[in-house]
């Protein structure tokens, strides 16, 4: 692959990593500020539940961005066995975190159906 293409992909990768990390940090700040304002209006218990869900969404979004960037960089820049192993590990961690986050937010695993609502 031409050196110029590799440099562009590496630059885009660094930018994507910055965006992913920024999403995590900014999401944490926004959700935390929202929590303190909701404590006054909704009460501590409801605000805490909203806070946990917001943090869960923030982590999942940030990890999705970071995994996408890692996939792009691994495939285009360094498709070595070591980088592919790190990619597989990162995807496994992201998957587990997503599943546990869904469990925390919804009280059920992602593959379980939502309980039927009674009218």
Give pLDDT, residue 1.
67
Give pLDDT, residue 102.
74
Across the chain, which has 119 residues, the per-10-residue mean pLDDT values are 81 91 95 94 90 87 85 79 84 82 74 70
Give pLDDT, residue 83.
80
Give pLDDT, residue 39.
92
SS (H, E, C) 69-97: HHHHHHHHCCCCHHHHHHHHHHHHHHHHH
Give pLDDT, residue 119.
56
Q: Quickly list DSSP for 17-63.
A: HHHHHHHHHHHHHHHHHHHHHHHHHH-HHHHHHHHHHHHHHHHHHHH
> What's the pTM?
0.72
Domain locations in the chain?
3-106
Give pLDDT, residue 118.
61
Residue with structure tokens 């110029």? 4
């Amino acid at each position: 692959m031409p050196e110029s293409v590799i440099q562009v992909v590496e630059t885009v990768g660094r930018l994507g990593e910055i965006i992913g990390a920024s999403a995590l940090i900014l999401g944490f700040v926004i959700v935390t500020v929202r929590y303190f304002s909701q404590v006054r209006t909704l009460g501590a218990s409801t605000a805490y539940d909203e806070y946990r869900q917001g943090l869960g969404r923030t982590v999942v979004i940030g990890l999705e961005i970071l995994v996408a960037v890692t996939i792009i960089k691994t495939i285009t820049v360094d498709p070595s066995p070591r980088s592919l192993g790190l990619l597989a590990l990162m995807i496994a961690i992201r998957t587990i975190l997503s599943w546990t986050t869904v469990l925390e937010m919804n009280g059920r695993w992602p593959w379980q159906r939502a309980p039927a609502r009674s009218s």
